[in-house]
Structure 1
Amino acid sequence: MTIAPSGFSVPSIDITPYVADGTPEQKAEVARAIDEACRTVGFMQILGHGIPDATIAGLTEAMDAFFALDLETKKTYKTPPKINRGYSPPKSESLSLSLGVESANRMNDFFEAFNVGAAKSDYPGVDLPDDDYAENVWPEVADFREKVDAYFREAKRVAETMTVIFADALGLPADFYDAYTGHSLDVLRMNNYALPRGTNIRLDGDLIGMGEHTDYGIVTVLWADQVKGLQVLGTDGSWNDVSPADDALLINLGDVTGRWTNDRWMSTLHRVKPPIVDGTIERRRSAAYFHDGDIDALISTMPHLVDAEHPNRYPEPITVGDHIRAKLAGSRAGKKNDAAGAEKERVLSARG
């Protein structure tokens, strides 16, 4: 468990009973712990996820090989903002705009990323939009596709395991999520926080690695280096450093889950402020697997989580696709998301 000076903590939960066919009693204990974490923090660390060390090592090797390429070569894999695939150079995005909040300098998030995701060809026979389910762009880096695909499959399994636990924790039918994830719009975003060779930038205390934001979909499975930088907003308005324990993955909830649960479970604000050491950014890597749901899935607040004490905060249903497009238009195309509500207010409050 990570505990900050403010008392903020990210609980560690062993999900082995759901991975290795535990007893009903063991699963119930895990589900109770997940519910507590989702209600109070919105972030957790999971152990017992079952991803082999060799698969994670392969992912980091592939990331290192790609990000070591020169910037001009990496830019040849850049795609238009509406295509959430390929390469994103430093200072080409602003995550805070996905919540309708202006940054001091637009498109100033100082990270680079490479995205792969579920493509139309992965769901044969389903009529899906080409832009949202675009085919992947694969760099000419030895074994990159094989190593990334191997991790993608494992992260997908973990995300789907988490939804099984979520169903138990929320008192839902075991197959509840199946109707919303048959052609889930899943994306793996590999991030690198470092100053590329030849970059000319003034380093100061306001340098943003990745602006404050909430994730968009159902659940995020995050592998990250044990390097400071990731910060999570506590309920008291404080920003708190979070670093994964040995062999742990970080799990956080997205907006879709917040909407579904009427904010009983929190889509928690987070950001990245990589530390500056000897005048440069200390390198930090992460890989976030976003399990977002079907693009045409209509998300309505769960009726059993609405009552006189908890009125419906999201009375208008929205499709996963419409929600994600509005968020991506902010982060990747620089268009402020005016549909953001409660999350925007939390950002402004945290900024003081």
Structure 2
Amino acid sequence: MAIVLDEVPLVSMAEQANDPEGFAQKFGQSFRRFGFAMVSDHGVPQELIDRAWAKTKEFFALPEEEKRQYHIPGGGGARGLTPFKTEIAKGATHVDLKEFWHIGRELAKGHRFEAQMAPNIWPHAPEGFKETFLELFQALDDAGDRLLSAIAVYLGLEPHWFDRAVKDGNSVLRLLHYPPVPANAPEVRAGAHEDINLITLLLGAEEAGLELLDKDGRWLPVKPPEGAMVVNVGDMLQRLTNHYLPSTTHRVVNPPVERRGTPRYSMPFFLHPAPDFLIETLPSTITNESPNRYPTPITAHDYLFERLVEIGLIKK
């Protein structure tokens, strides 16, 4: 079926319960065309999201020296704080104008992935930070599982195909703060890049700035209605599907001059497979017209390490 979408559509997850095939087609077609989708009725409670925004703003408003105690040099930004102007997009000349905090999956002591997945760090303030973000992590993890099920259906796989891939996955919830920027700032808030993981679920794209690079070379703004989230394909899913689902380049541009005194916050949830998941091209995506681009499989852990070196979060 031809896809004639001119802009990223809004799809409702409420449809998934009654018409999983129909929802999978709408969501999958948006991924196929743009590498992006906008999703409403995602099931993450608005009260929880509002509480998370409040805690995020409280944390980033703390004095710099207090925040810095939660930075782990050499930790690759896996947990805790990554300070302002640390990350740089692959191939970029300017560092990104942002600081961020990472929360990962809580593992039981002695878990088999303990060596690959660092324990969480929790700040002393604001109060309720840990409880709020563990709850949000779980809610986004659940929503991500449902969206991966739709992708499996769209790809002709059984609905629970991704369950084994993401069980105890190395997913990360990122709390992002883009401070106000000077009118003449040469850098961008987040340089043009692709995500590393399977899919990203993004809260906070209502504030203008997120753009995707369309196939014709134009930058398209992605601005969901209030309460909806933006979801996009990551490089691991692109690799798994032999580029059938594209991991689209995107960026966060500096706002118009009159908005440069306003900070921007967002909360992307990077949904990763388990470290030992083997990223091996799906046979159904290999054809005469599209031969296998990745004949050598790679584990999710090794792939992630390679990419973190590229963006400067891990020094070799």
Q: TM-score range by the shorter chain?
A: over 0.9
Kindly state the Cα deviation for residue 17 of structure 1 after the two structures are TM-superposed.
3.1
Kindly state the Cα deviation for residue 42 of structure 1 after the two structures are TM-superposed.
0.6
Report whether the alignment pairs 1:162 with 2:156.
no
Aligned counterparts of 1:256 and 1:28: Cα–Cα separation in 2: 24
User: Secondary structure of 1:157's match?
Assistant: helix
Query: Taking structure 1 as reference, are residues 260 and 58 closer, same or farther at Cα in structure 2, changes over 3 Å only?
Result: same
Query: Taking structure 1 as reference, are residues 307 and 8 closer, same or farther at Cα in structure 2, changes over 3 Å only?
Result: same
Report whether the alignment pairs 1:90 with 2:84.
yes
Q: Which amino acid aligns with 2:86?
A: S
Report whether the alignment pairs 1:227 with 2:196.
no
Structure 1 equivalent of residue 42 of structure 2: 49
Aligned counterparts of 1:117 and 1:335: Cα–Cα separation in 2: 21
The normalised TM-score by structure 1 is: 0.83
User: Secondary structure of 2:162's match?
Assistant: helix
* Contact 1:262-1:306 at 8 Å conserved across structures: yes
* Contact 1:47-1:247 at 8 Å conserved across structures: yes
Report whether the alignment pairs 1:212 with 2:206.
no
Aligned counterparts of 1:215 and 1:243: Cα–Cα separation in 2: 18
Structure 1 equivalent of residue 100 of structure 2: 113
Write out aligned runs for 1:189-338 (5 A): 189-195=174-180, 203-204=183-184, 206-278=186-258, 280-333=260-313
Kindly state the Cα deviation for residue 40 of structure 1 after the two structures are TM-superposed.
0.5
Kindly state the Cα deviation for residue 11 of structure 1 after the two structures are TM-superposed.
1.0
Which stretches in structure 2 are left out of the alignment for 5+ residues? none
Query: Taking structure 1 as reference, are residues 119 and 326 closer, same or farther at Cα in structure 2, changes over 3 Å only?
Result: farther
Structure 2 equivalent of residue 348 of structure 1: none
Query: 183-192 or 206-215: which moved more?
Result: 206-215
* Contact 2:77-2:313 at 8 Å conserved across structures: no
Query: Taking structure 1 as reference, are residues 12 and 187 closer, same or farther at Cα in structure 2, changes over 3 Å only?
Result: same
Kindly state the Cα deviation for residue 277 of structure 1 after the two structures are TM-superposed.
3.2
Question: 1:61 pairs with 41, 54, 63, which one?
Answer: 54
Aligned counterparts of 1:139 and 1:334: Cα–Cα separation in 2: 23
Kindly state the Cα deviation for residue 333 of structure 1 after the two structures are TM-superposed.
3.2
* Contact 1:193-1:284 at 8 Å conserved across structures: yes
Kindly state the Cα deviation for residue 251 of structure 1 after the two structures are TM-superposed.
0.4
Structure 1 equivalent of residue 93 of structure 2: 104
Query: Taking structure 1 as reference, are residues 160 and 40 closer, same or farther at Cα in structure 2, changes over 3 Å only?
Result: same
Q: Which amino acid aligns with 1:87?
A: L
Kindly state the Cα deviation for residue 159 of structure 1 after the two structures are TM-superposed.
0.5
Aligned counterparts of 2:72 and 2:110: Cα–Cα separation in 1: 26
Report whether the alignment pairs 1:139 with 2:154.
no
Kindly state the Cα deviation for residue 169 of structure 1 after the two structures are TM-superposed.
0.8
CA deviation string 1:214-254 (max 9, x = no partner): 11111111001522111111111122221221210110011
* Contact 1:300-1:318 at 8 Å conserved across structures: yes
Aligned counterparts of 2:185 and 2:69: Cα–Cα separation in 1: 32
Kindly state the Cα deviation for residue 256 of structure 1 after the two structures are TM-superposed.
1.1
* Contact 1:93-1:334 at 8 Å conserved across structures: no
Kindly state the Cα deviation for residue 334 of structure 1 after the two structures are TM-superposed.
6.7
Q: List 4+ stretches of structure 1 deviating above 3 A.
A: 276-281, 332-336
* Contact 1:186-1:293 at 8 Å conserved across structures: yes
Which stretches in structure 1 are left out of the alignment for 5+ residues? 1-6, 196-200, 337-352
Number of residue-to-residue matches in the alignment: 310
Question: 2:69 pairs with 56, 76, 92, which one?
Answer: 76
Aligned counterparts of 2:143 and 2:114: Cα–Cα separation in 1: 26
* Contact 2:70-2:80 at 8 Å conserved across structures: yes
Structure 1 equivalent of residue 12 of structure 2: 14
Structure 2 equivalent of residue 340 of structure 1: none
The normalised TM-score by structure 2 is: 0.92
Kindly state the Cα deviation for residue 174 of structure 1 after the two structures are TM-superposed.
2.2
